Amino acid sequence: MAPRTMMLALWGVLAASTVVAGVAGWSPGTATFYGGSDGSGTMGGACGYGNLYSAGYGVNNAALSQTLFNDGASCGQCYTITCDGSRSGSQYCKPGNTVTVTATNLCPPNYGLPNGGWCGPGRPHFDMSQPSWEKIGVVQGGIIPVLYQQVKCSRSGGVRFNIAGSSYFLLVNIQNLGGSGSVGAAWVKGTNTGWIQMSRNWGANWQALSGLTGQALSFAVTTTGGQYIQFLNVAPTWWQFGQTYSTNQQFYY
């Protein structure tokens, strides 16, 4: 069978919601929803993005179970999710539908339940915003079997840098990444410094133990997909803590 014909055949199987685990890179998991019918309860979260509209992510988001969240390294990644019609609970699926969400939060284990519940260790689970979950599931079901795969993110506008911290501690939340969606490494440079290696503090927040107030700031980022971009003179010398500075540059892989 020719590759194109084979791909079309696989998508035909997906449309029937009978894909089995491991086909064409899909993995089995489960999904629930939280945050209300308007998704407002999903704002904030363990990635530190705050208002998800301002950060570029909107309502199609999900909290990942511990095994997928990877201590915050997965923040910003995109996942396409579809119902798995071959498993128990699929009567609450909407066959053939898919939705793509961004990882913006952690679904922590519930140690009051056996094995930590659906978000317990080793369980691939998506606690999705209700609007995104309803694209693939029926509300009465509560939890559904799904298939998922990580996909390339497409973003509107450029990468954004939200700056917090203090005079001797810089904490930068890196937002709205396309391509792989997540940060693999980051650097900051002041007007009077060379490039300073940053380290992940928590979620999508990266830190530098340097006093850079009063200097224009540039950033460099390598995504987990391997693309490296320098963002020069992002913040002017009069930048302030609590402000977000946008760029016109974007990642594509």
Say whether both 144 and 31 belong to one domain. Answer: yes
Mean pLDDT of 216-223: 98
| φ, ψ dihedrals at 152, nearest 5° | -70, 140
Name residue, tokens 């980022």.
Answer: 221
Say whether both 113 and 190 belong to one domain. Answer: no
Mean pLDDT of 246-253: 98
Say whether both 97 and 144 belong to one domain. Answer: yes
Residue environment code for 76-111, b if the CB has 16+ CB neighbours within 10 A, otherwise e: bbbbebbbbbebebbebbbeebbbebbbbbbbbbee
* Inside any domain, residue 175: yes
pLDDT per residue as tens digits for the range 42-90: 999 999 999 999 999 999 999 999 999 999 999 999 999 999 989 988 9
Say whether both 184 and 138 belong to one domain. Answer: no
Using the 3D structure, point to which of 90, 118, 151 is the last residue of a domain: 151
Say whether both 85 and 38 belong to one domain. Answer: yes
* Inside any domain, residue 225: yes
Using the 3D structure, point to which of 108, 125, 151 is the last residue of a domain: 151
* Inside any domain, residue 2: no
Say whether both 130 and 183 belong to one domain. Answer: no
Say whether both 141 and 177 belong to one domain. Answer: no
Using the 3D structure, point to which of 125, 151, 177 is the last residue of a domain: 151
pLDDT per residue as tens digits for the range 109-149: 998 889 899 999 999 999 999 999 999 999 887 899 999 99
* Inside any domain, residue 253: no
* Inside any domain, residue 227: yes
Say whether both 114 and 84 belong to one domain. Answer: yes
Q: Total structural domains in the chain?
A: 2
Instruction: Provide the pLDDT for residue 18.
Output: 33
As a whole number of angstroms, the distance between CA 37 and CA 16 comes to 27
* Inside any domain, residue 84: yes
Tokens of 90: 């699929």
Mean pLDDT of 24-46: 93
Say whether both 49 and 130 belong to one domain. Answer: yes
Say whether both 70 and 165 belong to one domain. Answer: no
Rounded to whole angstroms, what are the CA distances from 84 to 21, 65, 128, 181, 223? Answer: 9, 18, 16, 25, 30
**In this structure, what CATH number is given to the domain that contains residue 168?**
2.60.40.760
What kind and span of H or E run contains 185?
Answer: strand 183-190
* Inside any domain, residue 251: no
* Inside any domain, residue 16: no
Say whether both 180 and 129 belong to one domain. Answer: no
Query: Which range marks the domain in which residue 204 is found?
Result: 160-246
Contact 70, 183 (CB under 8 A): no
| φ, ψ dihedrals at 210, nearest 5° | -145, 145
pLDDT per residue as tens digits for the range 155-209: 999 999 999 999 889 999 999 999 999 999 999 999 999 999 999 999 999 999 9
pTM of the model: 0.88
Residue 76, CA atoms < 13 Å, CB-side half-sphere:
28
